[in-house]
Amino acid sequence: MRIAHAELRWVRMPLVAPFRTSFGTSYDRDTIVLRMVTDEGAEGWAECGAEIDPLYSEEWLDGVDLVLRDHLLPRLVALGDEVTAARVKPALEPVKRHFMAKHLLETAVLDAELKSARMPFATYLGSVRERVPAGVSVGIMDAHADLLAAVAGYLDAGYVRIKLKIEPGWDIEPVRLVRKEFGDIQLQVDANTAYTLMDAQHLARLDEFGLLLIEQPLREDDLRGHAELARLIRTPVCLDESITSARDAATAIAMRACSVINVKPSRVGGYLEARRIHDVAAANGIPVWCGGMLETGIGRAPNLALAALPGFVLPGDTSASARYYTQDITAPFELDADGCIAVPGGPGIGVDVLNEVLAGFTDRVVPLSV
């Protein structure tokens, strides 16, 4: 197929409540949505995982816009009528990294390709479940009472796993209080690179709380430090920011730097690489789960399909739309009575974009030269 039209939509959506991590506090979801149309009339959509500032990773929205327009899209367009999702990665390989920008292109192409074939993402990826258990990520709060109230609300809503964001000064005591108040719930923590190996003795104090895992405690480039930390604490170490490819996953596993992996398609360049990471982890007996980047329905839909693969044995950050938004730009995703969310079954990403709603949240539309 050939790309006939492409455009970037800069979107800003207010969050239902501020979301604070060790990187800072977000009040809105600023993102880029890519709309692509093929010469066959198929429409492909993708949502960028990058943020307004280069804090979670080296990528940021203005950079994604620039590298996509000037370097990535021209290489893809040069394929002419031979554009397929499988050809995206080789075509873009000469451009170093920029995984979140590459994810936009690959996902939009794959969405259009699968819509033409009338095939759902879940079928293409090899999903084995129609529903996936949903966890929720709880940000850093101003007070412990606020945290306990938030966790109580999420448990009442039906979430089957709670993830607490932590940072130095907000770690041991919040976890202790949540474990004491709510008992034997599935509980894990996420440090977003906020600690160093010198904090190992402090982080070992989390062992008494029986956590599922501690996510990305050290810098993303410190695999050796994570391997040493994993030796010093009993809480399973999970890597997030450190894993940008199946090769990274294989290296981390070989170094015993982790015993769990968080797979975020936007961080690794797309769903094809995400599936490769799943396969590498499964071959080594390492459980994986699907992380989140505050996605709207455009990004949440394919994440649910990925989370239904057999190796995704831990609840992911595949929360309901209402966790972040009063109004989503697709039909809202909702928790069922068992704390699960249905995997979309329609062709492509499986959901329709609500164009009028999207227009209301769009700051500007940038046509791309094809």
pLDDT tens digits, one per residue of 23-32: 889 999 999 9
Does one domain contain both 84 and 142?
no
Does one domain contain both 291 and 144?
yes
pLDDT tens digits, one per residue of 78-113: 999 999 999 999 999 999 999 999 999 999 999 999
Does one domain contain both 98 and 29?
yes
Assigned domain for 16 exists = yes
Does one domain contain both 221 and 305?
yes
CATH code of the domain covering residue 93: 3.30.390.10
Assigned domain for 29 exists = yes
Residue numbers annotated as active site: 165, 264
Does one domain contain both 133 and 276?
yes
Q: What is the DSSP code string of 85-100? A: HHHHHHHHTTS---HH
Looking at residue 245, the DSSP 8-state letter turns out to be S
218 pLDDT higher than 90: yes
Does one domain contain both 113 and 126?
no
Assigned domain for 199 exists = yes
Q: How confident is the model at residue 72 (pLDDT cuts 50, 70, 90)?
A: very high
Rounded distance between C-alpha atoms, residue 153 and residue 156, angstroms: 5
What are the tokens at 356?
A: 């009028």
Does one domain contain both 90 and 149?
no
Q: Is 146 exposed, middle or buried (0-12, 13-18, 19+ CB in 10 A)?
A: exposed
Assigned domain for 364 exists = yes
Rg (CA), the chain: 20
Rounded distance between C-alpha atoms, residue 85 and residue 6, angstroms: 16
The count of residues in the chain is 370
CATH code of the domain covering residue 258: 3.20.20.120
Assigned domain for 166 exists = yes
Does one domain contain both 246 and 109?
no
Does one domain contain both 63 and 146?
no
Measured in whole angstroms, the distance separating CA 176 from the mean position of its chain's CA atoms is 27
369 pLDDT higher than 90: no
CB 294 within 8 A of CB 18: no
Q: Please state the domain count of the chain.
A: 2
Assigned domain for 311 exists = yes
∠ at Cα 73 (71, 74), nearest 5°?
Answer: 70
Does one domain contain both 148 and 162?
yes
Phi, psi of 96, rounded to the nearest 5 degrees: -70, 135
CA distances in angstroms from 222 to 193, 195, 201, 326, 354, listed in the order given: 10, 11, 18, 38, 42
Determine if the pTM surpasses 0.85.
yes
Rounded distance between C-alpha atoms, residue 81 and residue 73, angstroms: 14
Rounded distance between C-alpha atoms, residue 40 and residue 19, angstroms: 41
- Using the structure block, give the residue that is written with the tokens 């079928």: 123
Assigned domain for 151 exists = yes
What are the tokens at 60?
A: 């940021």
Between strands 340-342 and 131-133, the pairing is antiparallel
- Between 85-92 and 99-117, two packed helices, what is the crossing angle to 10 degrees? 160
pLDDT for 23 equals: 87
Residue 232, amino acid: L
Does one domain contain both 112 and 136?
no
pLDDT tens digits, one per residue of 145-166: 999 999 999 999 999 999 999 9
Give per-residue burial for 203-218: e unless 16+ CB within 10 Å, then b: beebeeeebbbbbbbb
CB 34 within 8 A of CB 98: no
Domain hosting 193: range is: 122-342
pLDDT tens digits, one per residue of 192-213: 999 999 999 999 999 999 999 9
Assigned domain for 347 exists = no
Rounded distance between C-alpha atoms, residue 304 and residue 126, angstroms: 12
CA distances in angstroms from 101 to 12, 195, 270, 324, listed in the order given: 18, 28, 9, 23
pLDDT tens digits, one per residue of 242-278: 999 999 999 999 999 999 999 999 999 999 999 999 9
Does one domain contain both 140 and 219?
yes
Kindly state the average pLDDT of the residues 221-238: 98
